[in-house]
């Protein structure tokens, strides 16, 4: 363990960032520049009430020590791809972080400041992952009660360990010992917080569409170890603050640069992964996927030229954050740059049912504001209007901010009536008026009416119309007639929904999936 780099503390937005101590050194750490807000909250992960069994995996031959153990840790990881990364880069991020933090992935390791597990989790990081009762506020209150404002110093005093050893401070039946004994829980927490970091850094423009998988994985490692401030600096190739061993977040980012042992190992092992991972039995269900390719008359460059020529309310934006560059638009518009597991659902044929069970949709909608409990409404509307039910739910979640937006809660009124618009139809970033008028004219005066009526409108105007816009990609970019009849201006609109759809489909591996991939003229 003497060659291991010092881990850094994990911090949420309300906690000032300081580096934690190495497992062996007692040097006073330097503060990490943690400027910028932390990722916004997303759903807490679902966890077992008893610890999962430790995964025993053969260590790949030809490696030794920490690297050897880290490769096995990455190979054993089972929680699905981290947002923005494919399988090889997800495993590389897991392995590289474990190599830095815990001598390659030891589960029950702890340091003198109270950080624990293979990712050296602090109380604030565990709260961010949804494991602490009361969340970040409970952590802050406990620190204040002990007379501290800084997590690292609190940890050095023994306060954080006392807090974490109190079973009442954990959720879902977990406790200190169960966390330390479970690879599943620790890996799931790492994925949850990495997914949040990815979403936040994309929103802020730190992670860009043209970035390589290596860069994204490196930035996410820098974020995990150096906080948001460290990730932002690392993305700009700025060294920034260093940990107790003099290692910067930029160095951590560069741990996953070209030629990295972890990335190369997992890419080369893809074809023989069954030799080093716990694979499902031959009877395990696998997704039923069917791919077709549709040719279009336009070259991608021509379609992009038309897109960039748009002005006014039709001009491409990144969400509500204003116009974007040509290269950024191209990154989202090029089908070949959007074939990862997180992005591919934008090519799902939306006229085909995924045959999802009601319980899957119910679980997806649980806790999602006014959409919670509306699974039957979505399923009935999808069947009635010939729309994929997973898409319909994902679309509503994106447009309503998980069932909490003004248009989903009846905030807007017309002629004394509350109106609802669950799919953002005719709602423009700076002009909600057309969306209000449409909802009023269509009698969308309740959540149920807006779900059913919105599904009907989308079906008749896009998905089941002769425009050929039967996928999210086609609704956004319309390759048949580029820069015309497009559902949204946000370049990330289709990708955001794809991510939500993937999460749903991951819970139901028997889903029936048909994909239509566009091919622009060469």
Domain co-membership, 134 together with 209: yes
302: three-class secondary structure by DSSP: helix
Per-residue pLDDT, 4: 30
Specify whether the backbone of 312 is left (phi greater than 0), alpha (psi in -120 to 50) or beta: left
368 φ/ψ angles, rounded to the nearest 5 degrees: -100, 60
- Count how many domains the chain has: 2
Q: How many CA atoms lie within 13 A of 333 on its CB side?
A: 30
289 φ/ψ angles, rounded to the nearest 5 degrees: -115, 140
Task: Name residues whose C-beta falls within 8 Å of residue 85's C-beta, 6 or more positions apart in sequence.
Answer: 93, 213, 216, 217, 220, 340, 342
Per-residue pLDDT, 509: 66
Domain co-membership, 89 together with 118: yes
170 has which bridge partners? Answer: 132
Of the residues 239, 273, 307, which one is the last residue of a structural domain? 273
Per-residue pLDDT, 510: 67
Q: Is residue 397 a part of any domain in this protein?
A: yes
Q: Is residue 2 a part of any domain in this protein?
A: no
Q: Is residue 59 a part of any domain in this protein?
A: no
CA dist 386 to 71, 463, 470, Å? 46, 9, 11
Domain co-membership, 148 together with 294: no
Of the residues 273, 308, 342, which one is the last residue of a structural domain? 273
Helix (H) / strand (E) element for 417: namely strand 417-418
Domain co-membership, 514 together with 373: yes
Per-residue pLDDT, 341: 75
Low-confidence ranges of the chain (pLDDT < 70): 1-65, 243-245, 257-261, 263-288, 313, 318-323, 429, 507-510
Domain co-membership, 255 together with 297: no
Task: Say what the pTM is.
Answer: 0.46
Identify the CA nearest to 294 among candidates 466, 462, 479, 483.
479
Residue 517 to residue 474: CA distance in whole angstroms:
10
Per-residue pLDDT, 46: 27
Domain co-membership, 257 together with 295: no
Domain co-membership, 344 together with 261: no
Q: Is residue 45 a part of any domain in this protein?
A: no
Q: Is residue 493 a part of any domain in this protein?
A: yes
Q: Is residue 265 a part of any domain in this protein?
A: yes
**Tokens in use for 200?**
């936040």
Q: Is residue 35 a part of any domain in this protein?
A: no
CATH number, domain containing residue 73: 1.10.530
Q: Is residue 49 a part of any domain in this protein?
A: no
Domain co-membership, 371 together with 418: yes
Residue 473 to residue 487: CA distance in whole angstroms:
10
Domain co-membership, 253 together with 297: no
**Contact assessment for residue 61 and residue 186, using Cβ atoms and an 8 Å cutoff:** no
Of the residues 230, 247, 273, which one is the last residue of a structural domain? 273
Per-residue pLDDT, 399: 86
Which range of residues forms the domain containing residue 365?
288-521
Domain co-membership, 255 together with 348: no
283: three-class secondary structure by DSSP: coil
Residue 151 to residue 164: CA distance in whole angstroms:
13
Domain co-membership, 309 together with 262: no
Place of tokens 């002009």: 431
Per-residue pLDDT, 281: 35
**Tokens in use for 237?**
């190739």
CB atoms within 10 A of CB 326: 13
391: three-class secondary structure by DSSP: helix
Domain co-membership, 350 together with 409: yes
Residue 100 to residue 119: CA distance in whole angstroms:
9
């Amino acid at each position: 363990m003497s060659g291991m780099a010092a881990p850094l503390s994990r911090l949420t937005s309300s906690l000032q960032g300081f580096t934690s101590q190495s497992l062996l050194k007692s040097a006073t750490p330097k503060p990490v520049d943690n400027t910028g807000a932390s990722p916004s909250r997303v759903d807490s992960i679902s966890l077992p009430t008893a610890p999962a069994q430790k995964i025993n995996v053969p260590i790949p031959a030809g490696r030794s020590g920490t690297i050897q153990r880290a490769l096995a840790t990455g190979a054993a990881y089972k929680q699905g791809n981290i947002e923005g990364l494919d399988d090889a880069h997800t495993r590389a991020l897991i392995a590289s972080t474990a190599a830095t933090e815990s001598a390659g992935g030891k589960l029950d390791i702890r340091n003198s400041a109270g950080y624990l597990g293979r990712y050296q989790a602090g109380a604030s990081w565990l709260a961010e992952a949804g494991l602490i009762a009361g969340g970040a506020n409970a952590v802050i209150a406990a620190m204040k009660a002990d007379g501290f404002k800084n997590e690292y110093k609190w940890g050095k005093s023994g306060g954080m360990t006392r807090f974490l050893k109190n079973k009442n401070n954990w959720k879902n039946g977990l406790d200190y010992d169960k966390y330390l004994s479970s690879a599943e829980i620790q890996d799931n927490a790492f994925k949850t917080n990495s997914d949040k970091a990815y979403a936040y850094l994309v929103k802020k423009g730190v992670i860009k569409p043209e970035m390589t998988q290596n860069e994204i994985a490196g930035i996410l490692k820098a974020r995990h170890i150096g906080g948001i401030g460290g990730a932002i600096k690392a993305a700009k190739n700025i060294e920034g603050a260093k940990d107790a061993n003099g290692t910067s977040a930029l160095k951590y980012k560069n741990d996953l640069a070209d030629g990295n042992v972890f990335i190369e190992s997992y890419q080369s092992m893809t074809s023989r992964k069954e030799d080093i991972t716990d694979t499902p039995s031959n009877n395990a269900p696998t997704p039923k996927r069917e791919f077709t390719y549709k040719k279009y008359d336009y070259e991608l460059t021509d379609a992009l030229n038309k897109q960039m020529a748009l002005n006014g309310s039709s001009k491409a934006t990144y969400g509500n954050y204003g116009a974007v560059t040509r290269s950024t638009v191209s990154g989202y518009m090029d089908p070949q740059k959007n074939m990862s597991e997180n992005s591919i659902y934008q090519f799902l044929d939306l006229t085909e049912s995924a045959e999802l069970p009601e319980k899957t949709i119910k679980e997806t909608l649980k806790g999602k504001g006014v959409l919670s409990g509306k699974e039957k409404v979505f399923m009935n509307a999808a069947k009635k209007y010939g729309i994929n039910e997973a898409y319909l739910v994902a679309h509503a979640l994106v447009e309503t901010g998980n069932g909490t937006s003004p248009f989903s809660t009846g905030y807007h009124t017309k002629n004394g009536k509350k109106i609802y618009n669950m799919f953002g139809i005719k709602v423009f970033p700076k002009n909600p008026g057309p969306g209000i008028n449409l909802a009023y004219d269509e009698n969308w005066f309740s959540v149920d009416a807006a779900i059913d009526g919105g599904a009907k409108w989308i079906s008749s105007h896009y998905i089941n119309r002769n425009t050929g816009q039967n996928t999210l990609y086609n609704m956004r970019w319309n390759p048949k007639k580029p820069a015309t009849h497009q559902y949204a201006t946000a370049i990330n609109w289709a990708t955001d929904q794809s991510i939500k759809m993937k999460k749903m489909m991951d819970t139901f591996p028997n889903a029936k999936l048909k994909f239509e991939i566009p091919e622009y003229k060469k």
